């Protein structure tokens, strides 16, 4: 054991404490020992190979690339069934990068033309590519530079015959088994996956933003994480005691006994609060004045249904079906067949045991590209996404509609259409559903003839033309994530404008309130399925606007229910009317906060 370890053996003792500040990406507090994830040294050997050695050097690089391909393929195959969908997608991204001629061929040309050794050729090419990525304005795309570097590091590791070090096995030298926190310059999602079953409880990285793949995986694994820590991997030492505050984006290294005690208390309080909430699972979601509220779950895959039931969801309010089309690894070049889709939809329907499942039709495009689509649109969020893409690909759309309809023979299913703005889009969509029904009838295949069809209200134009929707649709579901993006003209995945993403902007609030009111007037259900529905600070405001259906990630459901149980609709309605008339952001924020104390 290194001498320093003994000194680091007990938290809150001996080592100098310091605090780092970065970007919070995944909530909660974790306390553990640092495990430094060693990146492959980019500082590689540089030498020129003799003419007669060039082809052997080319082959050396080709073989290293082929080996990384096999490793990624194995990772994909070994993906646990319950692995978050994003993980498969991330491995796919790395496979695509590795197959790109910029990585798989350009360095070979460098070896041939400049006689560089394989490592030097690869690093030269990566440096050139990285410089090009630095020029890109789009923060989301710019972050993809890290994916390229991670892929290159994998190849370098093979070339240099080194592997990622495995996490240290807990030594048991303390009163309790210490848990590990990964500290790294950067972590590729695939590497993180390899550590998934080990006992690590937090992530800290030097680089990365809100939307880096690592951040997304951390969130989906529900593990506290902070990124953008700039020097963490240099300053923190192996086995140092570390606190990760994923709510504040703060990392405390070698905390004093007092700080440690405070954080342990906060951590315990959070765990206790989560446990307390579990008691509400079977409590009906009814306001103090006796109004029942419907609480639904947002899911990505049928495997999310047990979590929805565990949280006491009344059904699925949003099944983001595009996740069946993404992250398909080796099958990425084709979309799932009608039978494959049908099996998945039926699985969700059966898993929900009679509760309604609202399946949203394919919402691809923008930050959710189909694996095989070209990403050439200048403004992908304004481009051929969601229903626009489906109407441009009628066979693909019909296939999905038939699969959904077939699943409706096994339990209550509703169809939800995303990104509608125009009357003709609604009419064409309904027409396609009618066609899909006719095809199934012809084949004597059973389905629910009176299946309900609803529209996502997520484009301001839709919220301003509600009569067009309520006349044609059975229900509405407000997608606040996109509604905010399009109302305020900010890219929802661009961290540089993240400070402008304000759900409480009066324009946003009024569009939501108008939609809820229009639904009530027409007698059709209106839900909110965007992130606002799962934000407990906004539950009372939405109730005050008249919302009676909330759809959210299962993990948020019980906390929202707790708010509902404490709410009095009469008071909230009066207060909310006033909030909707207010135009000063400060007044609105203050009034919304005051709703919490009613
Ligand atoms: C939304 O836009 O609010 C929504 C629920 O859909 P997504 O986040 O999948 O775009
Ligand atoms: Mg949306």
HEC string for 483-545: HHHHHHCCCCCCHHHHHHCCCCCHHHHHHHHHHHHHHHHHCCEEEECCHHHHCHHHHHHHHHC
The reply to whether 213 belongs to the active site is: yes
- Asked if pLDDT for residue 332 goes beyond 60, the answer is no
Is 388 a pocket residue for ligand 1 (Cβ < 6 Å)?
no
**Region 489-504 average pLDDT:** 79
Alpha carbon of 456 to ligand 2 centroid (Å): 8
| Residue boundaries of the structural domains of the chain | 18-39+167-275, 281-595
DSSP structural state of residue 203: E
Alpha carbon of 425 to ligand 2 centroid (Å): 16
Is 144 in contact with 133 (CB distance < 8 Å)?
yes
Kindly name the residue from 35, 94, 185, 213 that is annotated as catalytic: 213
pLDDT at 143: 72
pLDDT at 172: 38
Confidence of residue 167 (pLDDT cuts 50, 70, 90): very low
Alpha carbon of 465 to ligand 2 centroid (Å): 18
**Region 46-50 average pLDDT:** 76
Alpha carbon of 458 to ligand 2 centroid (Å): 6
pLDDT at 5: 37
- Asked if pLDDT for residue 466 goes beyond 50, the answer is yes
Atom of ligand 1 nearest to the CA of 477: 5
The reply to whether 529 belongs to the active site is: yes
Span 54-68, pLDDT tens digits? 999 999 999 999 999
Atom of ligand 1 nearest to the CA of 320: 9
Atom of ligand 1 nearest to the CA of 418: 6
Structure tokens at 65: 């690339």
104-111 LR contacts (CB < 8 Å, sep 24+): 104/65, 107/61, 108/58, 108/61, 108/62, 111/49, 111/54, 111/57, 111/58, 111/61
| Choice between 44 and 62, residue whose per-residue pLDDT is larger | 62
Is 429 in contact with 417 (CB distance < 8 Å)?
yes
Q: How far is CA 145 from the centre of its chain?
A: 19
Q: Which residues pair with 416 in a beta bridge?
A: 360, 454
For ligand 1, atom 8, the nearest C-alpha belongs to 481
Nearest to 418 by CA among 502, 374, 468, 481: 481
| Choice between 129 and 208, residue whose per-residue pLDDT is larger | 129
Highest mean pLDDT among 156-160, 181-185, 317-321: 317-321
Domain 18-39+167-275 indexed as CATH 3.30.365.10: no
Confidence of residue 370 (pLDDT cuts 50, 70, 90): confident
Confidence of residue 192 (pLDDT cuts 50, 70, 90): low
Structure tokens at 388: 């626009």
Confidence of residue 40 (pLDDT cuts 50, 70, 90): very low
Neighbours of 47 (CB within 10 A): 9
Span 228-251, pLDDT tens digits? 887 898 899 878 999 999 888 899
* DSSP assignment string, 277-313: HHTTTTS--B-TTS-B-EEEEEESSGGGHHHHHHTT-
| Choice between 409 and 2, residue whose per-residue pLDDT is larger | 409
**Region 18-32 average pLDDT:** 87
Q: What is the mean pLDDT of the chain?
A: 85
Is 530 a pocket residue for ligand 1 (Cβ < 6 Å)?
yes
- Looking at 3.40.1110.10, 3.40.50.11540, 3.40.30.10, 3.20.20.60, the CATH number of the domain 281-595 comes to 3.20.20.60
**Region 348-365 average pLDDT:** 96
Angstrom distance (rounded) from CA 470 to CA 69: 51
**Region 82-105 average pLDDT:** 84
pLDDT at 400: 98
Percent of the chain surpassing pLDDT 70? 84
In this prediction the pTM is 0.68
Is 320 a pocket residue for ligand 1 (Cβ < 6 Å)?
yes
pLDDT at 168: 36
Pocket test for ligand 1, best of 458, 485, 556 (most atoms within 8 A of CB): 458
Alpha carbon of 482 to ligand 2 centroid (Å): 5
To the nearest 10°, report the CA torsion of 78, 79, 82, 84: 170
| Choice between 397 and 554, residue whose per-residue pLDDT is larger | 397
Nearest ligand (C-alpha, residue 478): 1
> φ and ψ at 547, to 5 degrees?
-70, 135
């Amino acid at each position: 054991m290194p001498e320093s370890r003994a000194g680091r053996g007990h938290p809150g003792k001996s080592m100098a404490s310091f605090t780092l500040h970065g970007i919070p990406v995944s909530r909660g507090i974790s306390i553990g020992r640092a495990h430094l994830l060693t990146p492959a040294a980019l500082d590689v050997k540089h030498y020129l190979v003799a003419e007669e050695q060039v082809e052997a050097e080319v082959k050396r690089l080709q073989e290293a690339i082929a080996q990384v391909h096999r490793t990624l393929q194995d990772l994909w195959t070994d993906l646990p069934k319950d692995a978050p969908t994003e993980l498969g997608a991330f491995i796919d991204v790395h496979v695509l990068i590795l197959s790109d001629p910029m990585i798989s061929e350009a360095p070979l040309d460098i070896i041939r033309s400049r006689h560089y050794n394989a490592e030097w050729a690869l690093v030269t090419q990566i440096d050139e590519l990285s410089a090009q990525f630095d020029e890109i304005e789009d923060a989301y795309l710019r972050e993809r530079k890290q994916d390229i570097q991670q892929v290159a590091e994998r190849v370098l590791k093979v070339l240099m015959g080194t592997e990622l070090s495995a996490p240290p096995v807990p030594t048991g030298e303390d009163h309790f088994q210490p848990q590990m926190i990964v500290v790294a310059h950067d972590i590729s999602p695939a590497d993180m996956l390899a550590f998934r079953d080990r006992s690590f409880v937090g992530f800290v990285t030097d680089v990365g933003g809100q939307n880096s793949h690592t951040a997304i995986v951390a969130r989906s694994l529900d593990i506290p994480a902070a990124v953008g820590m700039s020097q963490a991997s240099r300053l923190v030492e192996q086995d140092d005691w570390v606190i990760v505050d994923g709510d504040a984006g703060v990392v405390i290294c070698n905390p004093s006994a007092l700080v440690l005690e405070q954080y342990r208390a906060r951590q315990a309080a959070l765990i206790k609060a989560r446990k307390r909430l579990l008691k509400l699972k079977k409590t009906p979601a009814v306001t103090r004045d006796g109004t029942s509220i419907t609480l639904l779950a947002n899911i990505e895959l049928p495997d999310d249904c047990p979590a929805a039931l565990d949280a006491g969801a009344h059904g699925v309010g949003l099944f983001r079906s595009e996740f069946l089309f993404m992250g398909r690894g080796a099958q990425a070049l084709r979309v799932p067949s009608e039978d494959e889709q049908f099996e998945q939809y039926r699985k969700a329907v059966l898993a929900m045991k009679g509760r309604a499942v609202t399946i949203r039709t394919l919402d691809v495009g923008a930050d959710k590209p189909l694996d095989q689509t070209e990403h050439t649109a200048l403004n992908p969020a304004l481009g051929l996404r969601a229903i626009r893409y489906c109407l441009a690909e009628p066979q693909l759309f019909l296939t999905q509609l038939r699969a959904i309809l077939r699943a409706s023979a096994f339990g209550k299913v509703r169809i939800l259409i995303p990104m509608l703005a125009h009357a003709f889009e609604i009419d064409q969509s309904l027409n396609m559903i009618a066609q899909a029904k006719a095809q199934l009838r012809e084949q004597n295949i059973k389905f629910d003839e009176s299946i309900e069809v609803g529209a996502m209200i997520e484009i301001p134009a839709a919220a301003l033309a509600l009569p067009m929707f309520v006349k044609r649709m059975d229900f509405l579901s407000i997608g606040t994530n996109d509604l905010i993006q399009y109302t305020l003209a900010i890219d929802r995945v661009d961290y540089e404008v993240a400070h402008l993403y304000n759900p409480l902007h009066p324009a946003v609030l009024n569009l939501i309130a108008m939609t809820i009111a229009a639904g009530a007037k027409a007698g059709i259900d209106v839900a909110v399925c965007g992130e606002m529905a799962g934000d407990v600070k906004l539950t009372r405001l939405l109730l005050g606007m008249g919302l009676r259906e909330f759809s959210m990630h299962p993990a948020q459901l019980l906390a929202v229910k707790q708010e509902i149980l404490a709410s009095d609709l009469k008071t909230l309605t009066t207060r909310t009317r006033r909030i909707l008339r207010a135009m000063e952001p400060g007044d609105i924020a203050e009034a919304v906060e005051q709703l919490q104390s009613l």
